[in-house]
Structure 1
Amino acid sequence: MSAAVMSRRDLQFLLFEWLDVVSLTGHPYFAEHSAETFNGLLEVCESLAADYFAPHNRLSDEHEPRIGEDGKVVLPDEVAAAVAAFAKADLIAAQFDESLGGMQLPLSVFQACMAWFQAANTATTGYLFLTIAAANLLQAHGSPKQVGEWVRPMLAGELFGTMCLSEPDAGSSLADVSTRAVRAEDGTYRVTGTKMWISAGDHELGNILHLVLARTGGPGVKGLSLVAVPKVLTDGRRNELALVGLNHKMGARGTTNTLLAFDGAVGHLIGEENRGLQYMFHMMNEARIGVGLVAAALGQAGYRKSLEYATVRMQGGATLVEHPDVRRMLLAQKSYVEGSSALVLRCAHLVDRQRTGEDTSLLLDILTPVAKSWPSQWCLEANSLAIQVHGGYGYSREFDVEQHYRDNRLNPIHEGTHGIQALDLLGRKVVMRDGAAFRAFTAAARQTLARAAELDEFAAPLGRLLERLERVTALITEPEHAAVGRANATAYLEAFGHVVLAWTWLDLVIAAHGKDGPFYDGKRAAARYFYRYELPAAHAKLDLLAGHDRTTLDLDPQSL
Structure 2
Amino acid sequence: MSTRETVDFLLYRWLAVEGLAARPRFAEHGRETFDAVLDLCERLAAEQFAPANRIADTEEPWFDGERVHLPASSHAAAEAYVASGMLAAAQDTAMGGMQLPCVVEMAAQAFFSKAGIGVGGGGMLTSGNANLLMAHGTPLQREVFAKNEFSGRFFGTMCLSEPQAGSSLSDIVTRAVPDGAGHADDPLGPRYRLRGNKMWISNGDHELAENIIHLVLAKIPDADGRLVPGTRGISLFIVPKKLVDTDGRLTGERNDVALAGLNHKLGYRGIPNTLLNFGEGRHPVRAADGGGLDGRGAGAIGYLVGEPGQGLRCMFHMMNEARIAVGLGATMLGLAGYEASLDYARTRTQGRPVGPAGKDPTQPPVALIRHADIRRMLLAQKSWCEGALALCLYCARLVDEQHTGEPAAAAEAALLLEMLTPIAKSWPSEWCLEANSLAIQVHGGYGYTRDFPVEQYWRDNRLNMIHEGTHGIQALDLLGRKVVMDGGRGYAAWAARVNAAIERAIARPGWAREANELAGALKALGHATRAAWATGQPEEALANATPYLQAFGHVTLAWVWLEVALAAEDALAAADGAADADRGRLAAARYFFRYELPRIGAWLGPVESREPLCREMDEAWF
TM-score in terms of structure 2 length: 0.88
Instruction: Choose from 307, 319, 334 the match for 1:272.
Output: 307
Residue identity matched to 1:526: A
The reply to whether residue 252 of structure 1 matches residue 240 of structure 2 is: no
Instruction: Choose from 54, 59, 74 the match for 1:58.
Output: 54
1:24-43 aligned within 5 A: 24-43=20-39
Once the two structures are overlaid, the 10-residue window that deviates more, 288-297 or 216-225, is: 216-225
Q: What's 1:107 paired with?
A: 102
Instruction: Choose from 11, 17, 22 the match for 2:13.
Output: 17
Identity of aligned residues (%): 53
Q: What's 1:203 paired with?
A: 206
Q: Distance in 2 between matches of 1:435 and 1:89?
A: 42
Q: Secondary structure at the match of 1:221?
A: coil
Q: Distance in 1 between matches of 2:40 and 2:492?
A: 40
The reply to whether residue 230 of structure 1 matches residue 265 of structure 2 is: no
The reply to whether residue 348 of structure 1 matches residue 348 of structure 2 is: no
Q: Distance in 2 between matches of 1:284 and 1:388?
A: 34
Q: What's 2:472 paired with?
A: 419
Question: Which has the larger Rg?
Answer: 2
How much does 1:355 deviate? Answer: 2.0
In the alignment, structure 2 segments of 5+ residues that lack a partner are: 184-190, 222-227, 245-250, 280-298, 352-364, 573-578
Residue identity matched to 1:291: V
CA RMSD of aligned residues (A): 1.0
Q: What's 2:76 paired with?
A: 81
Q: Distance in 1 between matches of 2:166 and 2:484?
A: 26
Deviation digits for residues 367-394 of structure 1, max 9, x if unmatched? 0000000000000000000000000000
1:185-224 aligned within 5 A: 185=180, 186-187=182-183, 188-206=191-209, 207-217=211-221, 218-224=228-234
Q: Distance in 2 between matches of 1:167 and 1:543?
A: 37
Instruction: Choose from 174, 177, 186 the match for 2:172.
Output: 177
Residue identity matched to 1:59: I
The reply to whether residue 557 of structure 1 matches residue 619 of structure 2 is: yes
1:106-145 aligned within 5 A: 106-125=101-120, 127-145=122-140
Q: Distance in 1 between matches of 2:102 and 2:384?
A: 22
Residue identity matched to 2:606: L
The answer as to whether partners of 1:54 and 1:120 remain within 8 angstroms in 2 is: yes
Q: What's 2:610 paired with?
A: 548
**How many residue pairs align between the two structures?**
555
The answer as to whether partners of 2:532 and 2:609 remain within 8 angstroms in 1 is: no
Q: What's 2:333 paired with?
A: 298
The answer as to whether partners of 1:118 and 1:125 remain within 8 angstroms in 2 is: no
How much does 1:544 deviate? Answer: 2.1
Q: Distance in 1 between matches of 2:133 and 2:50?
A: 30
Q: Distance in 1 between matches of 2:545 and 2:264?
A: 31
Q: Distance in 2 between matches of 1:13 and 1:380?
A: 24
TM-score in terms of structure 1 length: 0.98
Instruction: Choose from 365, 368, 376 the match for 2:421.
Output: 368
Q: Secondary structure at the match of 1:23?
A: helix
Q: Distance in 1 between matches of 2:320 and 2:34?
A: 25
Decide whether aligned partners of structure 1 residues 175 and 463 sit closer, same or farther in structure 2, where only a CA change above 3 A counts.
same
Q: Distance in 2 between matches of 1:559 and 1:138?
A: 49
Q: Distance in 2 between matches of 1:434 and 1:115?
A: 36
Q: Distance in 1 between matches of 2:527 and 2:122?
A: 44
The reply to whether residue 168 of structure 1 matches residue 163 of structure 2 is: yes
Q: Distance in 2 between matches of 1:435 and 1:515?
A: 36
The answer as to whether partners of 2:201 and 2:275 remain within 8 angstroms in 1 is: yes
Q: Distance in 2 between matches of 1:382 and 1:178?
A: 39
Instruction: Choose from 501, 504, 512 the match for 1:448.
Output: 501
Q: Distance in 1 between matches of 2:101 and 2:513?
A: 34
The answer as to whether partners of 2:163 and 2:199 remain within 8 angstroms in 1 is: yes
In the alignment, structure 1 segments of 5+ residues that lack a partner are: none
Q: Distance in 2 between matches of 1:156 and 1:98?
A: 12
Q: Distance in 2 between matches of 1:537 and 1:44?
A: 40
